[in-house]
Amino acid sequence: MIASETLIQGMNQQIGHEMAASMQYVAIASYFDARSLPKLADFFYLQAEEERMHAMKFQKFVVDADGDLSIPSIPAPKCGFGNAREAVALALESEKTVTQQIYDLVAQGNEDRSYIAQRFLDWFVNEQFEEVTTMSELLDVVAMAGEDGLLAVEQYLERRPDPHAGE
């Protein structure tokens, strides 16, 4: 096996974390969708798909590394938000939490001297930098716009370049 049992267990847990994040983003997207804010809704629906894709990357690694796949149950997402800022702040906190989870996996990979796993996890470290930065910027824009200025946030998202273009 190219990764320790401890690291494989951690990756299995990460599959659950990524799927939970995906469902949380669906809940946030639905909040914006119900408020007729299609750009915010689309932004979070896309984030939900990205998180699901991250879970699948971990799943593929576990299988390819001859590990035992064990997908954990996930908690229900928070639904219903008092305002847009609360929804986006939850997304930012979620990304910070996932970043720490990835760091923990990197630390385990380093401890195990699993260089293949370390290279695999490098992609996630870079991805988390992008995700935290993006959510932080979006929270700043939502805070500046306020609840009465969410159409300006829609325009911001319309003009914002796709950070994944060219991947």
SS3 70: coil
Closest to 72 (Cα-Cα) out of 13, 24, 23? 13
The whole-number pLDDT of residue 3 equals 82
Question: What are 157-166's pLDDT values in tens digits?
Answer: 999 877 656 5
pLDDT at res. 20: 97
The letter for the amino acid at 101 is Q
What pLDDT shows up at residue 167? 58
pTM of the model: 0.93
Provide the mean pLDDT of the chain: 95
Give CA–CA dist 47/35, Å, rounded: 18
CATH no., domain 5-159: 1.20.1260.10
Neighbours of 61 (CB within 10 A): 21
Q: Where are the domains of the chain?
A: 5-159
Give the model confidence (pLDDT) of 100-142 as tens digits: 999 999 999 999 999 999 999 999 999 999 999 999 999 999 9
Summarised one tens digit per residue, pLDDT across range 65-109 is: 999 999 999 999 999 999 999 999 999 999 999 999 999 999 999
